[in-house]
Amino acid sequence: MSTPNSFASPASVCDNCGKTPSTSTSSSPKLQLSKCSRCKAKWYCSEACQIADWDAHRPACKRPNYILQFNLVPDIIRDPAVFRTLSVPATTTFAKLHNALQVAFGWANTHGYDFAWADPAYDSDENEALDREGFLECFEDATFWGFRKFVLRLREKDKLGVHNPDTMGGHVNRTHPETKEKSTEHTKLFKILDDKEYSDLEMEYMYDFGDNWRHDIIRKGRAPPTSHIVCLDGRGHGVAQDATITGWEALKEAYRSPSPNEEQRDNIYWYENEAMNGDSNGLGGGGPRARVGYK
C-alpha cells in the first residue's frame, strides 16, 4: 500500500493548459498552481482554466476518502493494542461509520455511542474535584453543569439534547448546554472533518457509556475515493464488550496463565460460551486457552 499522503500529487503542470509553475520575472508574473478544492487531485493555473476543464473533470471530481485510525482505550489496552484503520468515503454519515466500526471491532451494536470533539480548555482534575464535592448533577434540571468537556458531539438523532439514561454513570458532563450537538444520521464526514473549527481538536468515538469503550481517532491522511468503507489495517482480537476494560485485561491474563485459578476458568468459560460477542475458539484462534494472539 502506498503511504496515505502520497495520494495528493505535488503540482507540476496545469491540468487544463499545461503551464508549469514559475517564479516572477520582469516579463511575466509568478505562476502558481492551485488544487481543485473538492477532489484535491487536479491542479490549475487559474480560475479560467478550472472552469474550462470543469465539464470534462466533473464526473471524476470526488472528495478523497479519509484514512482514520481508531485506537481502543490505548492508555490501558496495550498488550496487544487493539486498533483498526479505515478508509472512509467523505460523504459517509457518522451513523454509517458507527456501523462499520461495530463490524471492524467485533462489537455487538447493543449500546449507545457518540463521536465527540474535545474542548482543549477542559481540565479533568478541576471537574472531578467539583464532582467529588457533589456539585454536579446528572438530571435534566441540573443548574450547574461543570466544565464543558466537548466542543461538539454527534449523537443518535433521538438522543439529541436529552440525557440518555446510558450517560448517567459517571458521564454528567458528556452532555452540556454549551456543547454543540448534531445527529450522526444527518452529518457527513467531510462536513466536520473539513471544518477548520474542529481540525485541531482531539476526536473520539465512544461506545457503551457504561463500560466506556473509547476509541481515539487519529487522522492518517487522505486516499482515493471508494464507494464503500474499506478496512486497511488492524491489530488485536476484538474485545468482549461486557467484560469491562479491566475485565478484558484479566481475561488475557487467564488465557496466559499456565494454571488458571477457578475465577480465571470461569472467565474463560464465560468468554467462549456466554459473552454476547465472545469467541468460542477463545483468544488466539487456536482453541481454548491458546496464547493471546493477534488478529
Q: Residues interacting with Zn ion, by CB under 5 A?
A: 14, 16-17, 36, 38-39, 42, 45, 49, 61
- Three-state DSSP state, 108: coil
> Residue 11 or residue 36: which is nearer to Zn ion going by CB?
36
- Please say which residue, 49 or 116, places its beta carbon nearer to Zn ion: 49
CB of 195 to Zn ion, least distance (A): 19
Which triple of cell numbers denotes residue 159? 438522543
Collapse the DSSP code of 192 into the 3-class scheme (helix H, G, I; strand E, B; otherwise coil) and give the result: helix
Cβ nearer to Zn ion, comparing 29 with 120: 29
Q: Cβ of residue 54: shortest distance to Zn ion, in angstroms?
A: 9
Q: Which is nearer to Zn ion, 14 or 275 (CB)?
A: 14
Contacts of 10 (CB under 8 A, 6+ apart): none
Nearest approach in angstroms of CB 204 to Zn ion is 31
- Give 193 or 268: the residue with its C-beta nearer to Zn ion: 193
**Could you give the CA distance from residue 292 to residue 275 in angstroms, rounded to a whole number?**
17
User: Nearest approach, Cβ of 193 to Zn ion (angstroms)?
Assistant: 18
Work out how close the CB of 231 gets to Zn ion at its nearest, in angstroms, rounded to a whole number. 26
Q: Are 204 and 115 in contact (CB under 8 A)?
A: yes
In angstroms, what CA-CA distances link 178 with 114, 146, 175, 239?
16, 11, 9, 33
Cell triple for residue 49? Answer: 482554466
Sign of the Cα torsion 269, 274, 280, 283 reads negative
Number of Cβ within a 10 Å radius of residue 253: 13
